[in-house]
Amino acid sequence: MKIYLYNTLTRKKEKFVPIKKGEAGIYCCGPTVYDYAHIGNLRAYLFEDILRRMFLYNNYKIDHVMNITDVGHLTSDADEGEDKMEKGAKREGKAAWDIAEKYTKAFFHDTNLLNIVRPETTPKATDHIKEMIKWIKKLEEKRFTYKTSDGIYYDTSKYEKYADFAKLNLEGLKKGARIEFSKEKKNPSDFALWKFSPSDKKRDMEWESPWGKGFPGWHIECSVMSIKYLGKQFDIHCGGIDHINVHHTNEIAQTEPVIGKKWVNYWLHNDHLVLKEGKMSKSEGNFTTLQTLIDKGFDPLAFRYLCFGANYRTKIEFSWEGMKKAQQSYDSLRNRVSLAKKENGKENKKLFEKFEKEFHERINDNLDTPQAMAIVWNMIKSDLSGKEKIELVTKFDKILGLDLLEEEELPENALDMIKKREEARKNKNWKTADRIREDLDGMNVFVEDTKEGTIWRIK
């Protein structure tokens, strides 16, 4: 079955044609490990997880690389301000190296809870300093660089296609409307390849280089590590939409002149998860972590479910009300799956194949998760036999990763009690209903009454 992806490069949905038949090389910009990831960041990794699962569902062999940014990402896109790692170190009175280790662990802890499969390769920037220096030297030889008092910069005016990818208005940038920039930079869009350590203090993370002691700029790591692990040309590069204008534009500018050809065939970008008040961001301090959701009693996989409610290219406005609804729907779906295990019914091969095909088509169509979920619901509510429903859930959950089949078994009698309670509620016998709820509570079964009927969850 054909796969279609929306490509930022062409601003079009295109049929996916791999470089090597049956294989897909995917590079994703990973976390900057100076703090916990917020649920907006996690949305980006959820999207990338569905992407990898979609390829596997289509029997592709995949090579998925995601970097860990543990040095050089500055607080300002204009390459000024503080290194985020040093910022984290100061905040916690620890060494930058310890901060990197702590938040890398925390990141994988979160992604595990969300059933995000760890990419095959997750290289750290600090393990690739030598390669980055080598790459900067190549750019220097090709006369793309210049030196200022604080580092080696890439001269974006030397790369004629610089504005193409993001359709940037360089004149507008020059007028200084967008980002403030250091007087020493030749163009506002120029970016640091190597930054010098300050002369008056020692950084936790610094390395010798042909230009002096310092550390790499943020962008260079992605060019170097993606090529090291995926080859000079590969299929897909992903990240959040905030990366289009600066980070990915710079990655392309520093890569294509060196390799002398087109670098990446498909660029995929997820839109943001926002709050009513605006973007969720670590630097603004207005962020919610996965642990906050857990502390409020939500299941991490209910957040995964929530993200499927919108295509990855659509903004999600996060609210606690929305989160509650997602948890209810997720519980309700799991309940229906567990009931389907006990259902008999008549088999219906035609309908089975229809659901299977439709789901596959939706997922292959630029990861249309909202429609794919609608098919899951139609299927579970249909009169397919229980056996067929479970067979389809097993297939679909390879993509969804919602653990739909792994529900713990309800304690004996619990289901009968739930049914009795529903009966009592129908007869407005609230006392009995409440008593049964208390009994269920004692058995660690949490019940909730929703528009869809009573749902339950094991606590």
Contact footprint for Zn ion (CB under 5 A): 29, 222
327 vs 316: CA distance, rounded Å: 16
> Residue 242 binds which one of ligand AMP, Zn ion, none, with CB within 5 to 8 A depending on kind?
ligand AMP
* Pairing mode, strands 191-196 and 264-270: unpaired
Please state, in angstroms and rounded to a whole number, the distance separating the CA atoms of residues 87 and 337: 47
Nearer to Zn ion, 29 or 333 (CB): 29
Half-sphere exposure of 136 (CA within 13 A, CB side): 28
Give the Cα separation of 295 and 277 in Å (integer).
23
Instruction: Please provide residue 149's backbone torsions phi and psi, each rounded to the nearest 5 degrees.
Output: -70, -20
Given Zn ion, ligand AMP, none, residue 222, with its beta carbon under 5 to 8 Å by kind, binds Zn ion
* Binds 279: which of Zn ion, ligand AMP, none (CB < 5-8 Å by kind): ligand AMP
Residue 217 near ligand AMP by CB under 6 A: no
Provide, rounded to whole angstroms, the least separation between the CB of residue 212 and ligand AMP: 27
Q: Which is nearer to ligand AMP, 124 or 354 (CB)?
A: 124
The residue (of 64 and 336) whose beta carbon lies closer to ligand AMP is 64
**Contact call for residues 96 and 102 (beta carbons, < 8 A):** no
Which residue reads 């208005």 in tokens? Answer: 169
Task: Determine the interface stretch with ligand AMP among 173-181, 188-196, 269-277, 303-311 (rule: CB under 6 A).
Answer: 269-277
Amino acid identity at 27: Y
Chain center to CA of 257: 29
185-222 as b/e: b if 16+ CB within 10 A: bebbbbbbbbbbbeeeeebbbbbebebeebbbbbbbbb
To ligand AMP, the closest distance from the beta carbon of 279 in angstroms equals: 5
- Least spacing, CB of residue 441 vs ligand AMP, in Å: 36
Least CB distance to Zn ion at residue 395 (A): 33
Three-state SS at 61: strand
φ, ψ dihedrals at 148, nearest 5°: -120, -175
User: Count H helices, E strands: the chain?
Assistant: 15, 15
Under the binding rule (CB under 6 A), the answer on residue 331 touching ligand AMP is no
Task: Say whether residue 248 binds ligand AMP (CB under 6 A).
Answer: no
Q: Which residue is nearest to ligand AMP (CB)?
A: 240
* Piece of the chain touching ligand AMP by CB under 6 A; list 143-151, 205-213, 267-275, 321-329: 267-275
Decide if residue 88 touches ligand AMP (CB under 6 A).
no
Partner from ligand AMP, Zn ion, none binding residue 273, C-beta < 5-8 Å depending on class: ligand AMP
Residue 308 buriedness (CB in 10 A; 0-12 / 13-18 / 19+): buried
* Residue 240 engages ligand AMP in binding (rule: CB under 6 A): yes
- Helix 129-141 to helix 220-230 angle (10° resolution) is 110
Instruction: Show contacts with ligand AMP in window 30-69 (CB under 6 A).
Output: 31-32, 40-41, 43-44
For the bound state, the minimum distance from the C-beta of residue 194 to ligand AMP, rounded and expressed in Å, comes to 20
Q: Measured at the alpha carbon of residue 224, what is the angle toward residues 170 and 228, in degrees to the nearest 5?
A: 145
- We find the least distance from the C-beta atom of residue 251 to Zn ion, in angstroms, to be 6
Partner whose binding site includes residue 102, from ligand AMP, Zn ion, none (CB under 5 to 8 Å by kind):
none
In angstroms, what is the minimal distance from the CB of 219 to ligand AMP?
12
Binding stretches for ligand AMP (CB under 6 A)? 29, 31-32, 40-41, 43-44, 239-240, 242-243, 270, 272-273, 279-280
